[in-house]
Structure 1
Amino acid sequence: MSAAGAEPLDEARIDALMAPLASATATLIAVSGGPDSTALLVMASEWARRRGARIFVATVDHRLRPESGREAADVARLSARLGVPHETLVWTGPKPSTRVQERARETRYRLLAEHAKAIGADAIATAHHLDDQAETVLFRLLRGSGVAGLAAMAATTERCGVTLARPLLDIAKADLVAFCRARGLPFVEDPSNDDPAYARTRLRALMGELAHEGLDAQNLARLARRAAEADEALAKMAAKAEAELGDGPIDAAALVSAPIAVVQRVLVRRIAQAGGRDEGRIGLEKIEALALRLREAAEKGRTLAANVGGALVRLTAKGRLDFVKEPARRTVAGGRQPAPAPVPSLQAIPRATDEEDHATSGPDPGVGGG
């Protein structure tokens, strides 16, 4: 469905959408051959000619479908017609039998980032659009994400050492399809988009029903925007609190006196730093439980020890809290490593899956950006 009151995708609108790419030395446009990325390619090529900007095109051939090679060749032909250099990036080696979309997405971004760096591009543009944003919000809402997760996809982020730009987040998929048809642009549809085995396919059907009750793509995207604003405010509060706590062991009483959402964010940062993990890979449920246990222990003058995210979190009876890397496990006879002793305060916390971790704060839907 076209966004109500949507502006026409004319030259002025296209220039406004592509404006964030102007600060890049060069931009790599990720194009699969679907209507979304085909529209992005044409818009970006026209904008680049008007502005004298440098763009390149890459298609990731996941080799998951027999048609993928032909589709990549079609993108190469369109790129040549537009005068934009194109490269097909192939996912070689054995393919996974589980979590296929998630692993394909990770591989896609890795290959794109590697190619971008090789050609001197410091930005990658994908064709994620309004419908993708809405699906991401609903996907994360159903999985109990926090504010950071409900903020969904940002217009620009950093991934694999390059800027990741999503200039079409405010544009409905129907408008991108209409743009391609009005220009006579050929495009393909990925059959996996209609496969009910994937959660996102089922969500699209659900979104049609929700739209009848008023929860349409625009309202879900509005929720994402408001969640992003709240997330930014919490991030600033957490940064201020962390700066006041200082480096090294910190005063637990001073930490737990802050709002619980701020406590959680400080814990995530300290744990990620000590454990050498990415903040987005530390399960929200674990942090929530740890924050509550820490507050209780600090108020009652009790000690606490917990292994979370590769870090050992230790609270002394005097209220000093520190974070160190989790000790390596000792090897015993037979070459097996004993499991660490369970921490009573965290025994009941379920281990978050990778998908749940992404739902908490991760960036993208599916293989995405069609």
Structure 2
Amino acid sequence: MTQTAPSSRLAAYDAAFARDMQALQLANSSVFITALSGGPDSSALACLADRYARSCGAAHQAIIVNHNIRSDATDEAERVRQRMQARAIATQIVTVEDKAPSTGIQEWARHQRFAALTKQARQQRAVLLFAHHQADQAETVLMRLARGSGIAGLAGMRGLTYRDAVPVARPLLNWSADQLRDVLALLGCDFEDDPSNRNYDFERVRLRRFLRKSAACGFPTIATAQRLGQAMAALSDHCAAVSTPIWEAATDLLPSGHAVIDMRRLQKLPDSMWQYHARRLIRQVGGNRYGVSARALDRLRARVLAAQNSTLGGCQFVRSMQPGETARFYVVREIGRVPQECDVAAGDDVIFAGCWRLRTAFSGKLLNAGTALQLKRTTTAAPPPDAIAALPYIVRRVIPVLYTLDGGLIYPQLEGVKSCVTSTDRALSAQFLGR
């Protein structure tokens, strides 16, 4: 049996990558950013993405996020940057200034990495690329299965999602780790070996060991988990398609950052479909990345159907006080015991409370309107725009505002809400990301 020529294998990989990018409807995108750790998977993605971008006239760069967790992190980041630049791949290092916590390091690093990468992607209006592959998908499905996830969770990672106003693509979900290493071998590109991948304190590392042992015993765990994820994705999509018209007829998700939901129209919605849509709505309005349990959602449904106010997942469900509207609820973000605050500089483009994108012309501190007014330290405060003043208080109090360095209070221009304020007059603009 003759072996395929290296040039033919590389051409086949390039063609497969182009098909995967097109399947994600990214063919018309003009700027790509690869999240680069320096390991074999992200290094292969950086090489494939750069070759793809050059072939279609798009821009591409790789970004390394240096968390400064290990003593050699800075040297490693520079080594990876030089390796990529030697291949004419534009590469930038972004260093995290915050100190790592003593516990939950992986979760902290993941959050810092996403924040740094999405900020760069927003500035460049780029698609953010991650190198998750078949085995990563299998691990995700099995970890969620162990935690009792429902249909949507067992669907695993999707090829294209949005986070912090940025399209996030994972074009390698159908690729194996061996294929990615073969790409690097064909290109003569080295890679880093992350010692944390051998630290069995981490759940994902322990799961990888289990998968290796299972494969050695003849159990096709990765392939089985992948098929489970694909089946759950198809089932989840079908359930969403069937139930979305019913849900949308009963729910208004508004650019002012809240929703209005009519529970009378949802009484006959099956429990699984209620859970799917309510979980998504809570993430959209509350800004939390993690969903709530099916049991908690069922309790929520019982309470609101009984016309009782409720709180879940960082959201408040508040019954309308208008006559004849006892089944209508406002869904608003909960301020919480520790209100969100965010220091900003003039010209910043930031994410606030997980669900707002704010662009400011002035320096200061972003706060919820209700929190800022309670400070009683403002020296100048223009009245809120008519579009905000007309909102119910429970909605108005969680609108983000800017507390300026000189003690002023600035309300935002809400994107998607009609107003006489022009774009050139905007000192602060706010885009609700849940829509």
- Report % sequence identity: 29
Q: How far apart in 1 are the matches of 2:280 and 2:189?
A: 47
**Paired residues of 2:43 and 2:191 also in contact (CA < 8 A):** yes
The 5 A counterparts of 1:130-145 are: 130-145=134-149
Query: Which stretches in structure 1 are left out of the alignment for 5+ residues?
Result: 1-7, 331-370
| 2:297 aligned with 1:288 | yes
Higher relative CO (CA 8 A, sep ≥ 6), structure 1 or 2? 1
Larger deviation, residues 197-206 vs 260-269: 260-269
| 2:259 aligned with 1:250 | no
| 2:50 aligned with 1:45 | yes
**Paired residues of 2:286 and 2:334 also in contact (CA < 8 A):** no
Aligned residue among 90, 95, 100 for 2:100: 95
| Structure having the larger proportion of residues in strand | 2
**Paired residues of 1:263 and 1:291 also in contact (CA < 8 A):** no
Q: Give the match for residue 235 of structure 1.
A: 240
Going from structure 1 to structure 2, the CA distance change for 1:47 and 1:265 (only over 3 Å counts) comes to: closer
The 5 A counterparts of 1:96-111 are: 96-111=101-116
TM-score norm. by structure 1 comes to 0.76
Query: Which 4+ runs in 1 deviate beyond 6 A?
Result: 315-319, 326-330
| 2:192 aligned with 1:181 | no
1:166 counterpart letter in structure 2: R
Query: Which stretches in structure 2 are left out of the alignment for 5+ residues?
Result: 1-7, 253-259, 338-435
| CA shift for structure 1 position 13 | 3.0
Going from structure 1 to structure 2, the CA distance change for 1:168 and 1:268 (only over 3 Å counts) comes to: closer
Q: Give the match for residue 219 of structure 1.
A: 224
SS of the residue corresponding to residue 27 of structure 2 reads helix
Q: How far apart in 2 are the matches of 1:180 and 1:91?
A: 28
Q: Give the match for residue 79 of structure 1.
A: 84
2:262 counterpart letter in structure 1: I
CA RMSD of aligned residues (A): 2.8
C-alpha deviations, 1:212-235, integer Å up to 9, x for none?
A: 353421221121111111111222
Q: Give the match for residue 10 of structure 1.
A: 10
**Paired residues of 2:30 and 2:57 also in contact (CA < 8 A):** no
1:132 counterpart letter in structure 2: D
**Paired residues of 2:10 and 2:186 also in contact (CA < 8 A):** no
In the comparison of the two structures, how many residue pairs are matched?
A: 314
**Paired residues of 1:151 and 1:231 also in contact (CA < 8 A):** yes
Q: Give the match for residue 263 of structure 1.
A: 274
The 5 A counterparts of 1:339-350 are: none
| CA shift for structure 1 position 69 | 1.6
| 2:122 aligned with 1:117 | yes
C-alpha deviations, 1:228-251, integer Å up to 9, x for none?
A: 111112222332112333554524
Q: How far apart in 2 are the matches of 1:54 and 1:66?
A: 33
2:200 counterpart letter in structure 1: P
Going from structure 1 to structure 2, the CA distance change for 1:270 and 1:11 (only over 3 Å counts) comes to: closer
| Structure having the larger proportion of residues in helix | 1
SS of the residue corresponding to residue 69 of structure 2 reads coil
2:246 counterpart letter in structure 1: A
1:322 counterpart letter in structure 2: F
Going from structure 1 to structure 2, the CA distance change for 1:305 and 1:117 (only over 3 Å counts) comes to: closer
Q: How far apart in 1 are the matches of 2:319 and 2:210?
A: 46
Q: Give the match for residue 175 of structure 2.
A: 171
Going from structure 1 to structure 2, the CA distance change for 1:293 and 1:183 (only over 3 Å counts) comes to: same
